[in-house]
Structure 1
Amino acid sequence: MASWETDAIVLNATKYGENDAILEVFSYDHGRISAYVYGGAGKRKRALLQTGQILHLSFMSKGENQLGYFDRLETKFSIENVFDNAAGINAIGSVCALLKEALPNFQTYKHLFNATEILVRLICNQDNWAAAYVRWEVGLLADCGFGLDFEECALSGVRENLSWVSPRTGRAASYEAGLPYKDKLLVLPPFLLSSENEIKSGDIADGFALTGWFIERDLLGQAMKNMPDARARLIISLGKKGLL
């Protein structure tokens, strides 16, 4: 019999039978995992199972090949502050959909969990989180084995004025070295090099284009999966607010 407790972020909840639910979470200690929640479709527990909620819960299973169940669900952090914020809801939806699609079952990613919890809290409590979201996608790629290299220019070795990224290798190039090939390169927005760099109009859009290319090709494409619709809705929401 397996039994443990941990913090977890709700990725998805599906009604099962008349009153129960199957809950999928990204947990701190055990990675992505699904289990029953008895009474999960009922009014009292349904609010706990909103996508993006951060919970503390316990898990029990009678055997390795049997679907276990979650119990003693407690809210660690509620996302209720973004329920009337389309961009915020879409951002949290995109985060959870990417984790659901990209992560294998039962593989632990403690650094990624901590980064995700920080991002969810930021989205719920502040307005200027778009750059942090793009940085989170860069971190997602790195934690899943597809890290981008912004350390130096792949063509010249210099570390200054990095402005482009090769869509083939994920390595950076300086402005001067990459300029002749700019039509074939992705723009590297300065805020991804340092949080102290000013964010100008168009930088967030460039960031989404950069991370989206590698997420779609490497993280999801190799498993024949598509980019979540929530990410497209997030970009549209940010565009409507003039935040790209």
Structure 2
Amino acid sequence: MDWRDTGILLSSRRHGETSMIIDVFTPERGRHAGVVRGGASRKVAPILQPGAQLDLAWRARLEDHIGSFTVELQRSRAAVAMGNRLALAGMNAVLALLAFTLPEREPHDALYTQTQNLLDLLDQIELWPLAYLRWEIALLDDLGYGLDLNTCAVTGATDNLTYVSPKSGRAVSETGAGDWADRLLPLPDALKGSGTFSDADIVAALATTGYFLEQKVALHQIGKPLPQARARFIDALARTA
């Protein structure tokens, strides 16, 4: 069995004395692991940096084996990320969430495209917080927990949408909330559509998406808390707000 694809390096770890096991996110085969022979060498190790865009060739005797990769660097993102603390924290959050939430060998082509586009904005840090929020919304949608924020779940109204139902992920208006308002999540402006928003509003919006990632995906579906990399990024963003 063998295939070729491009992919984003999520993580790598030492395997034996000279090899590395890498976890990559590809458009056609989703999250996929494999061994890079000689990956710990001086020649190859600098290529295997988190966030790197790689040209991948995978081979195994049987499809369900871990297999081995040969890799070539298409684009490194390490220098850009290391040059800005917020960019580095954001990239680490993206990579950690992908490794945590995505099952192995299941394609997520639309999410892959959005992830690649997001990581390519690392050098435009002023655009990054809102782009990251849009990416988290796309991640929830891809995992089956998409938010429906266009109309009130109670009244059907499209205006004065103020809350989000923690059960359904649907918007709720001030009128529709009634006595249940204290049991609902806030619906910050940054979640409602396109525009320019402050970092503080984006942090508030990430608290709402974070509820669904934590409660619906992490604890209910996976059985573990979210990676700390996400909290570190939001803390870094909050300090800039």
Query: Where does residue 215 of structure 2 map in the other structure?
Result: 217
Once the 2 structures are TM-superposed, how far is the Cα of residue 201 of structure 1 from its aligned partner? 5.9
Per the alignment, in what secondary structure is the counterpart of residue 133 of structure 1? helix
Query: Where does residue 203 of structure 2 map in the other structure?
Result: 205
- Residue 79 of structure 1 contacts residue 124 of structure 1 at CA under 8 Å; is this kept in 2? no
Which range moves more in the overlay, 74-83 or 225-234?
74-83
Matches of 1:201 and 1:111, distance apart in 2:
26
Matches of 1:39 and 1:226, distance apart in 2:
34
Q: Where does structure 2 lack aligned partners over 5 or more consecutive residues?
A: none
2:66 is aligned with 1:67: yes
Q: Where does structure 1 lack aligned partners over 5 or more consecutive residues?
A: none
Q: How many residues align?
A: 240
- Residue 19 of structure 1 contacts residue 42 of structure 1 at CA under 8 Å; is this kept in 2? yes
Query: Where does residue 133 of structure 1 map in the other structure?
Result: 132
- Residue 199 of structure 2 contacts residue 240 of structure 2 at CA under 8 Å; is this kept in 1? no
Q: Moved runs in structure 1, 4+ residues, more than 6 A? A: none
Q: CA-to-partner distance for each residue in 1:178-231, whole Å, 9 max, x for gaps?
A: 3643321111122222112x4146311211111110001111112112111111
Aligned alpha-carbon RMSD (Å): 1.6
2:101 is aligned with 1:102: yes
Once the 2 structures are TM-superposed, how far is the Cα of residue 112 of structure 1 from its aligned partner? 0.2
Matches of 2:114 and 2:58, distance apart in 1:
23
Matches of 1:15 and 1:189, distance apart in 2:
43
Structure-to-structure mapping, 1:1-244, within 5 angstroms: 2-178=1-177, 180-196=179-195, 198-200=196-198, 202-221=200-219, 222-242=221-241
- Residue 15 of structure 1 contacts residue 21 of structure 1 at CA under 8 Å; is this kept in 2? yes
Once the 2 structures are TM-superposed, how far is the Cα of residue 177 of structure 1 from its aligned partner? 2.5
Per the alignment, in what secondary structure is the counterpart of residue 213 of structure 1? helix
Once the 2 structures are TM-superposed, how far is the Cα of residue 77 of structure 1 from its aligned partner? 4.7
Once the 2 structures are TM-superposed, how far is the Cα of residue 83 of structure 1 from its aligned partner? 0.5
- Residue 11 of structure 1 contacts residue 52 of structure 1 at CA under 8 Å; is this kept in 2? yes
Per the alignment, in what secondary structure is the counterpart of residue 11 of structure 1? strand
How has the CA–CA distance of structure 1 residues 153 and 7 changed in structure 2, closer, same or farther, with 3 Å as cutoff?
same
Matches of 1:91 and 1:188, distance apart in 2:
22
- Residue 129 of structure 2 contacts residue 199 of structure 2 at CA under 8 Å; is this kept in 1? no
